[in-house]
Amino acid sequence: MKHQRWFIGYKRAAAALAAFVISAVMLSAYPAAFAAPDDEVDPPQAAEQDSGRESGTIRGSRNSSSSAKSSVDDEQDDKNSGNKRASVSDEDLDADDEVSDENSDADDEAEATPTPDPRVGENGRPILNENECAILVNTLNGEVMFEQNSNERVYPASTTKIMTALLTLEAIERGEINLNSSFLIMPEMLVDLPADGSSMLLKEGEAMTVEQLLQGLLVQSGNDAAQALAIVVCGDIPTFVQRMNDKAAELELTGTNYVNPHGLHDDNQYTTAADLAKLTAEAMKNKTFREIVSTAKVVIPATDKTSTRTFISTNGLLSTLRYGNYYYPNAVGVKTGHTSQAGYCLVAAAREGDLEVISVLMKGGGEDDRHLDSRNMLKYALDNNKAVTAVKKGDMISEIKVKFGSGTDHTTLSVDSDILVTIPEDASPDDLVLEPQTAEYIAAPVNAGDEIGTVNVVLDGNVVGSGTLIADNGVKRHPLGFLMQFFSFIWSFTAVRVIVIVLAAALLIFIVYMIVNIRRNIKIAERRRRVYGKNSRRGR
């Protein structure tokens, strides 16, 4: 029995010793495993940890003890590391730091490498679908900054409403209608409109102001608002459509034809991206148009026919109220359009400082196409360019000679207005060169403010802007200025100069001839006097 108890005690001691050895090995290995890089953890182990979290596995006690031990180990490592660093030279420290910085930079670059955007190329240049038609125009100077199929004939859809709004605003400027005037909605304003088309929900018999109709036209893209404005401006739709085409001809929109004021599909209603850019640039000159197309939200007060109406702009570049991922803070308009035949269209504009650009995107395949491609075009222009004032109004540029004047023979020249130019983002205004373009001289009288010539603003050999030169001071005509100018004018003819030269030469020859003859006659007379004098003395 005693032998049996000793054997059991021996087994328990052996088991305890084995457990102690195993625990010591595990404890010594655990910190090293804990400190291993994440990418060295075996995938099954990582998956097991994740599944543990999802199932709510509790690891509180072990994590706490391990964390404490790890914290102690980290402090000890820091002390040891500090002692080691104190024993090495500064050169070694610098070398270690450089290696560390290089590794850190490499890691940062690896982490920060973005996924390439398939819609943009070098310097953010847009990459469009091959069937899309687009153009990007600088409104300061009309420069085309980007284009693709810009002169291809396309269906305009609701971008037609830009022309409708422009004609309405021109009628206001002529005093034919007033922005705040109210008009009753009549039945003919609502006919032939599809029930599922865009609408500002006009009701027959309710009163709307011209401004409210323009808001419904440009913000909500209401087809009913377009027909209502056409009738308000011209009395009937055919007359208004004719005015649309007349205006297109005036603006030289050679690829455009209108059939209706709203843009619902018609095979004979078409335009081009280039024409739309011209039209929009003209419309953006109007303050009211600019204000409305840059508005993300409008509220139409209740009428006796309907309650309050709130409209969110269909242009997602203006806000996140309708779409969450298209907003562009520099956007200032303008108008969307969509039909199954036209595709997704967007005429947009953006401004930064004094630089404003207009983009047109037609035949997009969806909301992403028209919004993201338009935003990329606008960003391409504004990110790579800037507008600077090359010359300020009143700056003296050069001087010019004044002929036939009294009191002075010249006047200085300055520009009549600021000259804004667009230059690359990395260019300096100091690199701009001014090249006056004037005649060699001008004739008095000259009045202060008279246009004398132009000045070109040149960057790297390219003209990037120009302006008008005016006289700073007046110069009166000389009392004999008329005769002086007359003879100067006569002398400008080659035949006159030849005749005068011939006559002058003949006169010179005649004078020389006369002088020679006179001298010869004098000699003859002297000779005769000498001969007659001798004969008279002999006779005595």
DSSP symbols for 240-283: HHHHHHHHHHHTT-TT-B-S-SS----TT-BB-HHHHHHHHHHH
What residues have CB less than 8 Å from 418, skipping those under 6 apart?
389, 391, 392, 393
Which residues are registered as beta bridge partners of 423? 386
Q: How far is 206 from 186, CA to CA, in rounded Å?
A: 9
Which residues are registered as beta bridge partners of 120? 126
Q: Where are the domains of the chain?
A: 133-385, 392-482, 493-539
Neighbour-count burial of 347, counting CB atoms closer than 10 A to its CB (0-12 exposed, 13-18 middle, 19+ buried): buried
Query: What pLDDT shows up at residue 486?
Result: 61
Tokens linked to 250 = 């005036």
Neighbour-count burial of 499, counting CB atoms closer than 10 A to its CB (0-12 exposed, 13-18 middle, 19+ buried): exposed
Query: What pLDDT shows up at residue 492?
Result: 67
Query: What pLDDT shows up at residue 108?
Result: 47
CA–CA distances in Å: residue 529 to residues 306, 325, 332, 536: 132, 122, 109, 11
Secondary structure of 379-420 in the HEC alphabet?
HHHHHHEEEEEEECCCCEEEEEEEECEECCCEEEEEECCCEE
Query: What pLDDT shows up at residue 499?
Result: 85
Question: CATH number of the domain at 133-385, out of 3.40.710.10, 3.50.50.60, 3.40.50.620, 3.20.20.70?
Answer: 3.40.710.10
CA–CA distances in Å: residue 108 to residues 103, 117, 450: 9, 20, 63
Query: What pLDDT shows up at residue 168?
Result: 98
Decide: 152 and 228 in contact? Cβ < 8 Å. no
Query: What pLDDT shows up at residue 67?
Result: 37
Between helix 161-173 and helix 273-283 the angle, nearest 10°, is: 30
Q: What is the DSSP letter of 446?
A: B
Give the residues of the chain that fall short of pLDDT 50. Answer: 1-8, 25, 27-110
Does the fold of domain 392-482 match that of domain 133-385? no
Query: What pLDDT shows up at residue 534?
Result: 63
Helix (H, G, I), strand (E, B) or coil at 49: helix
Fold classification of 392-482 (topology level)? Peptidoglycan synthesis regulatory factor (PBP3), Domain 2 (2.60.410)
